[in-house]
Amino acid sequence: MSRGVRRAGAGQGAAAAVQLLVTLSFLPSVVEAQVTGVLDDCLCDIDSIDNFNTFKIFPKIKKLQERDYFRYYKVNLKRPCPFWAEDGHCSIKDCHVEPCPESKIPVGIKAGSSNKYLKVANNTKELEDCEQANKLGAINSTLSNQSKEAFIDWARYDDSQDHFCELDDERSPAAQYVDLLLNPERYTGYKGPSAWRVWNSIYEENCFKPRSVYRPLNPLAPSRGEDDGESFYTWLEGLCLEKRVFYKLISGLHASINLHLCANYLLEETWGKPSWGPNMKEFKRRFDPVETKGEGPRRLKNLYFLYLIELRALSKVAPYFERSIVDLYTGNVEEDADTKTLLLNIFQDTKSFPMHFDEKSMFAGDKKGAKSLKEEFRLHFKNISRIMDCVGCDKCRLWGKLQTQGLGTALKILFSEKEIQKLPENSPSKGFQLTRQEIVALLNAFGSDT
């Protein structure tokens, strides 16, 4: 792995996680020696990702996350767990999420439409009445009847569209805006059986794995004696590409979360003032090849695989945002224009990456079988997004929901190529749309993996 750049400020998401491995000094050489070379199931090497991310992507993504459009995320942290009786919410103070006061939210964001990036939706003179605007209330009365009908048809389609994630209802009274910059992903102290139960349900019930195959280092599984996980990987390699990809994405997401916890750890607290920073001991416990019986480096490689999938999605969705109808709307005309320019610049960089993952290699068998497998893939991932409502720590739940929604949005993009290619330039499309919630999740999820 390249070590030519010194420490940079950490962000959130896949890009930030990859950047942490490149820039932070706590990566032991014994791990570095094993997290190298070409990734499985693609033709990309880790050094190329490191260099591309460090010099092209990460600085711009970090800047984008600071823009108003991308820093405010609306989320419902009070949805009950749909699968088991909750153990109760974490009482540790660092688990708490501080919601953003309404007065702090840019007027264009809180105007009531979950799709506040389309000019056809933003053409209203009554922003002062944004508190009362309903989902379609931001349509200006001067729009043609044809434009109104197109927007209404599109909104109706968007409500019924099949997603890879269970989306929060942004109109729910329980949904609140959160300033992501003031609630960063970091170690909160949430651990033990409650956290294990969440991840165990994700891996054991949703990753296409039979119960007879034991996942390495699973604290809830019986001891396997001398089995160091090789039987698990023998089983994994025997799966079809699509199911291997699914497991690697979940493992990579897990690694990204754990890496952020290690890099932003509560080291000490003096007179009520916490000191956060990298915790080498915690990193070794989770990723050192000796302490994890070789599992740690595999998890870090899966983080790079996650990065590649999300990078590919950004390069594929560029035409959607390049249309003149798309406006990342907050109400601040000058900043909105700058934000869109920065986003398009990032898309251009993603297109220039020479070793993208080829999503066309997935679901490429007979049409009936491929369609069935793709639906199974989608439903398994959607189920994982629902499990995030079972996380007992609010801050962990916030970032778990955001990162799964971001990855789910990336998958939605990758498997909607035909619809994206057919997008009209100056009107909404029934075939493919993204809500603001999905856009914010996508860029912040990728930003936290870099």
pLDDT value at 339 more than 50: yes
Instruction: Report long-range pairs for 83-91 (Cβ below 8 Å, ≥24 apart).
Output: 83/201, 83/386, 83/387, 83/390, 84/197, 84/390, 86/390, 86/392, 87/193, 87/194, 87/197, 87/392, 88/392, 89/392, 89/393, 89/394, 90/188, 90/189, 90/190, 90/392, 90/393, 90/394, 90/396
Q: Say how far apart CA 274 and CA 49 lie, in whole Å.
A: 34
Which sign does the torsion angle of CA 216, 217, 218, 224 carry?
positive
pLDDT of residue 18: 83
pLDDT-derived band of residue 119, with 50, 70 and 90 as boundaries? low
Of the listed ranges 3-7, 11-15, 89-93, 251-255, the least confidently predicted one is 3-7
Q: Say how far apart CA 299 and CA 287 lie, in whole Å.
A: 8
Of residues 369 and 158, which shows the higher confidence score?
369
pLDDT value at 390 more than 60: yes
Place of tokens 């990566």: 27
pLDDT-derived band of residue 163, with 50, 70 and 90 as boundaries? confident
Average pLDDT over residues 25-40: 73
235 is in an annotated binding site: no
298 is in an annotated binding site: no
pLDDT value at 126 more than 80: no
Give 294-312 pLDDT, tens digit per residue. Answer: 899 999 999 999 999 999 9
Q: Are strands 176-179 and 265-270 parallel, antiparallel or unpaired?
A: unpaired
372 is in an annotated binding site: no
How many residues does the structure list for the chain? 450
pLDDT value at 111 more than 90: no
Q: Say how far apart CA 189 and CA 46 lie, in whole Å.
A: 31
pLDDT of residue 22: 66
299 is in an annotated binding site: no
Average pLDDT over residues 139-145: 41
Q: Say how far apart CA 329 and CA 69 lie, in whole Å.
A: 7
Catalytic residue among 42, 90, 262, 396: 396
pLDDT of residue 391: 94
Q: Which of 8-12, 135-139, 163-167, 194-198 has the highest mean pLDDT?
A: 194-198
pLDDT of residue 157: 45
Arithmetic mean of pLDDT over the chain:
83
188 is in an annotated binding site: yes
Give 267-290 pLDDT, tens digit per residue. Answer: 887 777 888 888 889 998 999 888
Place of tokens 């290690």: 262
pLDDT-derived band of residue 374, with 50, 70 and 90 as boundaries? very high
pLDDT of residue 156: 44
pLDDT value at 403 more than 60: yes
* Cα–Cα–Cα angle for 80, 82, 83, rounded to 5 degrees: 130
Span between the terminal Cα atoms of the chain, in Å:
14
Q: Say how far apart CA 97 and CA 77 lie, in whole Å.
A: 9
Instruction: Report long-range pairs for 353-358 (Cβ below 8 Å, ≥24 apart).
Output: 353/52, 353/311, 353/315, 354/48, 355/42, 355/43, 355/44, 355/45, 355/48, 356/44, 356/308, 356/311, 356/312, 356/315, 357/42, 357/44, 357/305, 357/308, 357/309, 357/311, 357/312, 358/42
Query: For the stretch 267-299, what's the b/e string if a residue is b when 16 or more beta carbons lie within 10 angstroms of its beta carbon?
Result: eeeeeeeeebebbeebbbebbbbeebeebbbbb
pLDDT of residue 129: 38
Of residues 104 and 30, which shows the higher confidence score?
104
Note if 240 is an active site residue: no
- State both tokens at 275: 């000191």
pLDDT of residue 132: 35
pLDDT of residue 1: 45
Instruction: Report long-range pairs for 26-34 (Cβ below 8 Å, ≥24 apart).
Output: 26/262, 26/263, 26/278, 26/279, 26/280, 26/283, 27/1, 27/283, 28/284, 28/288, 30/288, 30/289, 30/290, 31/287, 31/288, 31/289, 31/296, 31/297, 31/300, 32/1, 32/3, 34/289, 34/297
Note if 262 is an active site residue: no
Catalytic residue among 44, 95, 390, 393: 393
Query: For the stretch 341-362, what's the b/e string if a residue is b when 16 or more beta carbons lie within 10 angstroms of its beta carbon?
Result: ebbeebbebbeebebbbebeeb
pLDDT value at 69 more than 80: yes
Q: Tell me the backbone φ, ψ of residue 294, rounded to 5 degrees.
A: 85, -5
Residues 438/75, Cβ–Cβ less than 8 Å: no
Average pLDDT over residues 378-404: 95
pLDDT of residue 224: 57
254 is in an annotated binding site: yes
Domain ranges, ordered by start, for the chain: 21-107+162-216+229-449
Average pLDDT over residues 165-170: 86
In percent, the amount of the chain with pLDDT more than 70 equals 80
